[in-house]
Chain A
């Protein structure tokens, strides 16, 4: 049977036009990109994690779901201050249960944003955000700026589905109606496909933005900025002119802006520049988010607990201070004593000092395939693949919620979804704590 309009659970694009056909033992996928297709193959792959395991005296062994959940609950109930890393490759529904367990235990809850677009979110907190849905840019934008993002490789269909190529209501000729600019220290495939590439020096995004803003304000930037950024002032002026003359400028930022040094300050000044630019033309800024539901955690945590990520429940109420209550920092400072990692390969993605400590402390990992995090875990709970095997909600890159429906069932009789697994775990944790 062919299933249509399936949502791809891989990157923040949340493409909603995937078509799959399940035959025995194989899956045929249409419309998804390379990355998306690879994950759809997980439904039938040979390396899929199918049995819970625990590590005992350095040896990994298969156990029943009940034993694995028991041991996970033991680890969490005995921990003084657990870290919950509620990854983005699962539904908001599962993340919500995770947040509640973290609150119940007085732990720290964080998600992929912290090692991804966390600074973007912090920048938005500082400056506010002129945002839009992806459709706005698609229909209106005649100038697209990819700043610090290699869209072709990190969100492969962004350019074809939302950004550059699609024909929009006011950009009828698609690519021919749009000017495309890339700002990146590397000559990425995206940069190659652009009309203008500003190859700035690494870690100088703030200076470049600041100089652009100074030009917009009718002043001359200090000449040293040419040497600092590697971009000549006339090119900066030309860029500002191009923006002013456009009808609609869509700026998409990536980790190049939020993760290079400057971090949330880069985003803050970019957002302020965008605000000011709206005196001349329409302009908005959005983040290209790498993991499918990374935006969802921010939304969810914000409306449930007031803060978008890095939430410390230590005092019984939520507190937030990136650098103090965020995953990498609490690990580096050894300020948690157990960890629950869901649908994110944390060990793979954090710097060595933090990864080492994470491997050191008792860790439970919920995932679908073997990866560094499962290797370093004490308990591994197999994951159910959202949007393929269970329904739920993701938030797309532009913070639009998308409900997804499965085309097959969870391979496990013991659990229907990650949400289900977490609810079972929560019940066990509660039973232990209240015994």
Chain B
């Protein structure tokens, strides 16, 4: 499914990030989550987890799903975090600021494990180390 990705803060994301708990299980439970509306959730086959991929197809990340009334069909939300930023569009339109709101992504059901924040750094960003 093609969608526009919105990212932003949630209160618990803020609480955990500011409290220095980015490597906690709670942080992953709060942030490694893709919010979708019921309609899109059904269309995706009610998956427990989805793989979100950036427009260029280069970067993708597996996250859990959460059904919510707060987003409309065709739009998804991931709390501001490393998971979201893996797929945020890096182009800044000559403003310095990436497209944290409204990045085009594709969303599909997956069985991949949801990595924790440290694993993302080690595996995706730092190679095999």
Q: Which residues of A contact B (CB under 8 A)?
A: 10-11, 34-39, 41-42, 45, 47-48, 58, 110, 114-116, 118-119, 122, 148, 150, 152-154, 156, 185-188, 199, 201-203, 255-256, 258-261, 263-264, 290, 309-310, 322-324, 326-329, 332, 345, 347-356, 358-359, 368-372, 375-376
Contacts and interface: CB of A to CB of B under 8 A. Distances in A.
Given A258-B97, A322-B96, A356-B125, A186 B87 contact: no
Contacts of A326: 92, 95-97
B49 interface: no
4 smallest CB-CB distances across A and B, nearest first, come from: A369-B20, A326-B96, A323-B94, A38-B19
Contact of B95 (A36, A152, A185, A323): A323
B94 A351 contact: no
A351 B90 contact: yes
A45 B20 contact: yes
Interface in B82-129: 82, 85-102, 117-118, 120-122, 124-126, 129
A37 B16 CA distance: 10
B66 interface: no
Nearest to B88: A351
Given A347-B125, A355-B125, A154 B96 contact: no
B126 A186 contact: no
Contacts of A354: 90, 98
A150 B8 contact: yes
Interface in B51-95: 54, 58-59, 69-72, 75, 77, 80-82, 85-95
A370 B14 contact: no
Contact of B99 (A41, A260, A329, A332): A260
Contacts of A37: 15
Given A188-B70, A372-B118, 15 more contacts: A37-B15, A38-B20, A47-B23, A110-B96, A115-B96, A119-B95, A154-B9, A156-B14, A260-B101, A352-B88, A355-B85, A355-B125, A369-B21, A372-B125, A375-B121
B63 to A, nearest CB: 14
7 contacts: A118-B96, A203-B102, A263-B95, A326-B96, A329-B92, A351-B88, A359-B125
A264 B96 CA distance: 11
Interface residues of B, number: 56
B46 interface: no
A370 B23 contact: yes
A219 to B, nearest CB: 28
Nearest to A205: B101
Interface string B38-56: 0000000000000000100
A116 B7 CA distance: 12
A259 B96 contact: no
A322 B90 CA distance: 14
Given A42-B20, A153-B14, A260-B101, A122 B95 contact: yes
A259 B54 CA distance: 17
Given A39-B18, A154-B9, A186 B70 contact: yes
Given A39-B19, A261-B93, A34 B14 contact: yes
B90 A352 contact: yes
Contact of B22 (A45, A348, A351): A348
Contacts of A359: 121, 125-126
A322 B14 CA distance: 27
Contact of A154 (B14, B21, B23, B81): B14
B10 interface: yes
Given A35-B14, A370-B20, A187 B70 contact: yes
B4 A259 contact: no
A332 B96 contact: no
Contacts of B87: 352
A34 B94 contact: no
B20 A368 contact: yes
A36 B11 CA distance: 11
Contacts of B11: 34-35, 152-153, 156
A352 B96 contact: no
A372 B9 contact: no
Interface in B24-44: none
B117 A372 contact: yes
Contacts of A58: 129
